[in-house]
Structure 1
Amino acid sequence: MKKYLIVSLVLLGFGCKNNKSNSQNNNDDATVKTPTSISYKVVNVFPHDPNSFTEGFFLHDGKVFESTGLKGNTGTSKLLVYDLQTGKVAQSVSLPSVYFGEGISIVNNKLYQLTWQKHKVFVYDLPSLNKVKEMTWPYEGWGMTTDGKNLIISTGSSNLYYVNPEDFSVIKTIAVSNSYGPLPMINELEYVDGVVYANIWETNSIVKIDPKTGAVIGTIDLTNIRQQNSVPVVEDDVLNGIAYDSAKNTFLVTGKNWPKIFEIKLN
């Protein structure tokens, strides 16, 4: 099960690619440079529901949009909209118990929500969050963001998929590599100024990816932030959640069942 599998070699670049073979990039593994280490400072801390198993996370119109995962006996996945300062929930949509909620994004005033293993995508109208249709995705659903036109999806592999939001057809596939080779377990995503920031599942790192080449060009080590949560660090409560605040040029980061959201400024 994705959320409980132990991955120990992710940052060394070991692992398999998705079974899709038409990856497109201009990156030769022999020429990949060592990613730049990006420092940061914490500029604010906000409340986060410790019951939220965070999968999708972004800011829109001043509100936090979050997709949570869990299903069956362990809980119910939800789509949430809430106030950053207080954590007060303004809207909540519960998924049927068979679905594990994953990445979310907005294109053309429609919100798209992935599910993990059921190959289902839910599409909602904004601002009502009324579900208007369901679509199909052939792989596992992990993270999702947008460049403003296309959806960009991760599947837990080393690939990023550019997807047409109208019919969910794959436009192109980007193979992501660091200086050790293909980088698997790419999870929650955020597209900012032409680059993709991504959580690497079960690590304390965010990577900065050039989608033109697939190269990891920067890494952000958030180990210190994970340790600042006022609860014991346990296996499943990993870093997962990146939201960009364009008005302040800062990022919000959180994790699964974390009681806090951290606002950070990259140096």
Structure 2
Amino acid sequence: MPLFLRELSTIMKLQHFLPAALIFLLLSCGNNNSNDSNDAGSPSATIVPAAIDYTVVKTYPHDTSSYTQGLIWHNNTLYEGTGRVGYSKLAKIDIETGKASQQQFNAKNEFGEGITILDNKIYQLTWENHKVYVYDAESFKKLQEFAWPYEGWGITTDGKNLIISTGGSNIYYVNPSDFKILRTVGVTDNYGPVDNINELEYINGFIYANKYLTTYILKINPETGTVTGRLDLKDIFQKSGKTYDAGMIPDPTEDVLNGIAYDSAKNSLYVTGKQWPLLFEIKIN
């Protein structure tokens, strides 16, 4: 009789004396054919995000009345989408002065959110209004309006689809022609799902995302949702040579890092925060 069957026979004789849970434990221990393996979805089987270093190249002025929600560099021009009810707008920015050279305000009851540009059209989300506006990138003339079932937070594009965040851990791929959801990607790191995914920028095959209420920009694999790298900008004022003064930012607990634009010609990122006085040009090391 095989060893395992002899053990089973012995246990069956003891079934009137041993609790069921203990019998199960003995059976489990007696099975020498079990395989030791890690669950692929467990934190131990997930990549720990690499720390990404950066260098500040230059600083530019930024309008401290702009509650930055979206930032785009397109055709050598900076575009910005801002939030807050009654103050939300889409603007074309003179990067050297920080002032708007062209702007389009949202309705007074709307809270503007992220923006992106695809096929010379600007897509602008709203937060809780469930509306998405499409503008001509040159004239700012409104071309279309779509309904969106979730909150709008961040938006970017891979050149074909729109990619949208809603404040949770999911990122949605969306058809730009009808705004239908094509697929959903869950963002995770070595601790599990990562929420508060906010402003997005698609750079060289990866999604870069502000994690709201933190100083982090996350580098995300768009196929798996895995956070492969993390950029911490908590010292960006000091690295830029600017003396940080708490009075420089109206409310440091709310007016946090937000806004990522990529200049492919210079291989630079432009980053800022809500109502920050500066826009930073940085390079990833």
Give the alignment's TM-score, normalised by structure 1.
0.86
Structural mapping, 1:139-154, within 5 Å? 139-154=150-165
In the other structure, the counterpart of 2:189 is 178
Pairing partner for 2:252 from 208, 228, 234: 234
- Alpha-carbon separation, structure 2, partners of 1:65 and 1:248: 17
Aligned to 1:104: 115
The structure 1 residue matched to 2:147, chosen from 136, 141, 147, is 136
Q: Distance in 2 between matches of 1:123 and 1:131?
A: 6
Is the counterpart of residue 155 in structure 1 residue 173 in structure 2? no
The structure with more radius of gyration? 2
Q: What is the Cα deviation at residue 125 of structure 1?
A: 1.3
TM-aligned CA deviation for residue 79 of structure 1: 0.3
Could you say if the C-alpha distance between residues 178 and 226 of structure 1 is closer, same or farther in structure 2, counting changes exceeding 3 Å? Answer: farther
Distance (Å, rounded) in 2 between the aligned partners of 1:28 and 1:150? 27
Whole-Å separation in 1 of the counterparts to 2:190 and 2:255: 28
Return the alpha-carbon distance in structure 2 between the equivalents of residues 266 and 36 of structure 1: 13
* The one of 248, 271, 285 aligned to 1:253: 271
Q: What secondary structure does 2:235 align onto? A: helix
The question of 1:28 aligning with 2:46 is answered no
Partners in 2 of 1:57 and 1:28 — Cα distance?
Answer: 34
User: Counterpart of 1:223 in 2: which secondary structure?
Assistant: coil
Structure 2: gaps (5+ residues): 1-39
Q: Once the 2 structures are TM-superposed, how far is the Cα of residue 226 of structure 1 from its aligned partner?
A: 5.3
Please give the secondary structure, in 2, of the residue aligned with 1:67: strand
- CA RMSD after TM alignment: 1.3
Query: Percent identity, aligned pairs only?
Result: 53
**Residue 68 of structure 2 is aligned to residue 54 of structure 1:** yes
The answer (yes or no) to whether the contact 1:69–1:101 under 8 Å persists in 2 is yes
Among 114, 118, 124, the residue aligned to 2:135: 124
Partner amino acid for 1:136? A
Structure 1 residue 29 displacement after superposition:
3.8
Is 2:275 the partner of 1:262?
no
Aligned partner letter, 1:221: D
Residues matched between the structures, number? 238
Distance 2:198 2:94 in 1: 24
For structure 1, the residue ranges without an aligned partner over 5 or more in a row are: 1-26
Query: Which structure has greater helix proportion?
Result: 2
TM-score by length of structure 2 reads 0.81
Q: Which portions of structure 1, spanning 4 or more consecutive aligned residues, are displaced by more than 6 angstroms?
A: none
C-alpha distance in structure 1 between counterparts of 2:42 and 2:145, whole Å? 38
Instruction: Report if the CA contact (8 A) 1:204-1:226 is conserved.
Output: no
CA contact (8 A) 2:72 2:117 kept: no
Is the contact made by 2:136 and 2:143 (CA closer than 8 Å) also made in structure 1?
A: yes
